[in-house]
């Protein structure tokens, strides 16, 4: 991933240094388990642990150029650093025992970092939902004015989506928390399953029930779907912010910072570029989906075709998503909201939004639904053609006033009545958003 889209914690997590440190972490956990089982001299892992600080990615890559195998290069480097003691490492293990177990640790840590950001998004959104629960705005379907709602309710639907996306990421974190130390074809030919269980237990992982040479790749695909759900939740929010910011609407806007310039040509421009960028990055995160699924059907006990995506698009998707969440947080912290403009648009619609209430009132008075529809639509089309405000046209329509009194008609245009149930859903949602977050007490792992 390019620096522009890489938060510092993700740069660290996916660095070469960190990769090799994680590999060593796995080797040492396995070594400790073997020490306990008497397979390896006691004290081996303790004496090798300090090598973590001396790992040299450049040297490992030099060795790999000759042997064409990254794990062997890594082990050779460890022998260079650690001398003959290092020969006890990797005992009975195959490369994937190290690589896949380390990948589980890395993705688990990535998941924690993403969930932490998600929790901040949820917190900020919840605050805005509460603040704007009674801020009326025009609800829009098909881009056209529909019926009124509140900005808090609209944000609530985004908040609910982020809560669902969070649940899926929690699940994905569990699904990815499986390692393996079961050898070349996964059947523990050279190591007792007990060794595996102990080693993985030290790392906070579970053993893959039946591995091949590798941890099965549907786990990683599930992880990618969880990324895509968060990205899509962000995309929906960003898309709608772009709509709200457009010149003719301008009911809300992303922050525009002091010193910011919107266009190299047009100094008057103030564009929702962060929101647009989020939409673009969502395409990137989703692009990892199909390859992640294509990676599942490995040949026999495994081939290595999955590796290229796991070195590139998978960390890129995680990193881009972390960046997206950071950028979303920046938007949420500085988002400008214009309640008066929202009110203005409701006003402008001249009561058209009450057409359904009118329809229902006519049906209640005994008209057939399609007949009532015809009468209301007639007035609505005249209003859209600017022949008068809808409310006035209705109050003059003989077929309507023959059935409903003016007073009753006026009540149909009562905004607060239309919004009377908004609080109930919002209260329930905010409760859900505030409940203590499970599983994050031990966030590091």
Active site residues: 142, 263
260 binds a second copy (CB under 8 A): yes
Residue from 8, 38, 53, 247 touching a second copy (CB under 8 A): that is 247
311 binds a second copy (CB under 8 A): yes
Q: Which of residues 4-43 bind a second copy (CB under 8 A)?
A: 4-5
295 binds a second copy (CB under 8 A): yes
Cα 247 from Cα 18, distance rounded (Å): 47
Contacts of residue 284, Cβ cutoff 8 Å, sequence gap at least 6: 316, 317, 320
Size of site (CB under 8 A) for a second copy: 170
151 binds a second copy (CB under 8 A): no
Cα 214 from Cα 99, distance rounded (Å): 9
249 binds a second copy (CB under 8 A): yes
Cα 85 from Cα 31, distance rounded (Å): 11
261 binds a second copy (CB under 8 A): yes
Cα 397 from Cα 392, distance rounded (Å): 9
Q: Which of residues 407-436 bind a second copy (CB under 8 A)?
A: 418-419, 421-422, 424-426, 428-429, 432
Nearer to a second copy, 18 or 443 (CB): 18
Residue from 159, 321, 332, 404 touching a second copy (CB under 8 A): that is 159
Q: Which of residues 329-368 bind a second copy (CB under 8 A)?
A: 345, 349, 352-353, 355-360, 363, 367-368
Nearer to a second copy, 28 or 86 (CB): 86
C-alpha distances in Å from residue 184, one per residue of 67, 214, 254, 302: 19, 8, 53, 10
Long-range contacts of 370-379 (CB under 8 A, 24+ apart): 375/399, 375/400
Q: How far is the CB of 137 from a second copy (least distance, A)?
A: 10
What are the tokens at 276?
A: 């647009």
Nearer to a second copy, 402 or 444 (CB): 402
Nearer to a second copy, 164 or 443 (CB): 164
Q: Which of residues 56-95 bind a second copy (CB under 8 A)?
A: 66-69, 71-72, 75-76, 79, 84, 86-95
Nearer to a second copy, 106 or 443 (CB): 106
Q: Which of residues 119-148 bind a second copy (CB under 8 A)?
A: 138-148
445 binds a second copy (CB under 8 A): no
CA 197 from chain centre, in angstroms, equals 32
294 binds a second copy (CB under 8 A): yes
- Over the range 81-111, which residues count as b (16 or more CB within 10 Å of their CB) and which as e? ebeebbebbbbbbbbbbbbbbbbbbbbbbbb
What are the tokens at 275?
A: 């929101």
Contacts of residue 443, Cβ cutoff 8 Å, sequence gap at least 6: 112, 115, 116
Nearer to a second copy, 112 or 320 (CB): 320
From residue 189 to residue 228, what is the string marking binding to a second copy with x (rule CB under 8 A)? xx-xx---------------xxxxx--x-xx-xx--x--x
| Triad 213, 219, 225: Cα angle to 5° | 145
| SS3 state of residue 311 | helix
**If you write DSSP's letter for every residue of 260-293 in order, what string do you get?**
--S-SS-TT----HHHHHHHHHHHHHHHTHHHHH
303 binds a second copy (CB under 8 A): yes
Residue from 134, 270, 330, 411 touching a second copy (CB under 8 A): that is 270
Residue from 15, 42, 43, 164 touching a second copy (CB under 8 A): that is 164
The number of beta carbons lying within 10 Å of the beta carbon of residue 377 is 12
289 binds a second copy (CB under 8 A): yes
Secondary structure letter of residue 42 according to DSSP: T
Nearer to a second copy, 43 or 443 (CB): 43
242 binds a second copy (CB under 8 A): yes
């Amino acid at each position: 991933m390019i620096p522009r889209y890489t938060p510092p914690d993700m740069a660290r997590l996916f660095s070469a240094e960190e990769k090799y440190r994680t590999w060593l972490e796995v080797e040492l956990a396995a070594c400790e388990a073997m020490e306990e089982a008497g397979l390896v001299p006691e004290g081996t892992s303790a004496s090798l642990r300090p090598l973590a600080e001396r790992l040299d990615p450049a040297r490992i890559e030099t060795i790999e150029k000759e042997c064409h195998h990254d794990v062997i290069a890594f082990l050779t480097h460890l022998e260079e650093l650690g001398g003959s003691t290092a020969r006890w490492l990797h005992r009975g293990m195959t490369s994937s025992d190290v690589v896949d177990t380390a990948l589980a640790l890395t993705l688990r840590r990535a998941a924690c970092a993403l969930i932490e950001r998600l929790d901040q998004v949820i917190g900020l959104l919840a605050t805005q939902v509460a603040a704007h629960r009674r801020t009326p705005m025009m609800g829009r379907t098909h881009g056209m004015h529909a019926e009124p709602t509140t900005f808090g309710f609209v944000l609530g639907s985004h908040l609910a989506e982020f809560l669902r996306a969070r649940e899926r990421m929690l699940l994905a974190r569990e699904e990815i928390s499986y390692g393996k130390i079961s050898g070349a074809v996964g059947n523990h030919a050279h190591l007792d399953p007990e060794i595996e269980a102990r080693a993985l237990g030290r790392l906070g992982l579970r053993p893959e029930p039946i591995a091949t040479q590798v941890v099965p790749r549907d786990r990683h695909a599930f992880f990618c779907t969880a990324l895509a759900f968060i990205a899509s939740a962000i995309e929906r929010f960003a898309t709608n912010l772009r709509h709200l910011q457009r010149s003719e609407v301008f009911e809300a806007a992303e922050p525009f910072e002091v010193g910011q310039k919107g266009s190299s040509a047009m100094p008057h421009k103030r564009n929702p570029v962060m929101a647009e960028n989020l939409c673009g990055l969502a395409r990137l995160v989703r692009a990892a989906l199909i390859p992640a699924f294509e990676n599942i059907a490995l040949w026999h006990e495994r081939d290595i075709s999955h590796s290229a995506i796991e070195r590139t698009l998978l960390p890129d998707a995680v990193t881009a998503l972390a960046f997206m969440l950071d950028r979303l947080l920046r938007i949420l912290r500085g988002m400008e909201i214009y309640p008066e403009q929202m009110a203005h648009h409701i006003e402008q619609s001249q009561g058209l939004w009450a057409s359904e209430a009118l329809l229902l009132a006519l049906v209640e008075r005994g008209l057939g639904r399609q007949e009532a529809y015809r009468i209301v639509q007639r007035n609505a089309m005249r209003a859209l053609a600017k022949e008068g405000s809808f409310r006035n046209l209705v109050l003059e329509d003989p077929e309507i006033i023959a059935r409903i009194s003016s007073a009753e008609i006026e009540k149909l245009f009562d905004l607060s009545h239309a919004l009377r149930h908004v609080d109930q859903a919002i209260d329930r949602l905010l409760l859900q958003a505030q409940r203590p977050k499970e599983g994050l007490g031990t966030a590091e792992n």
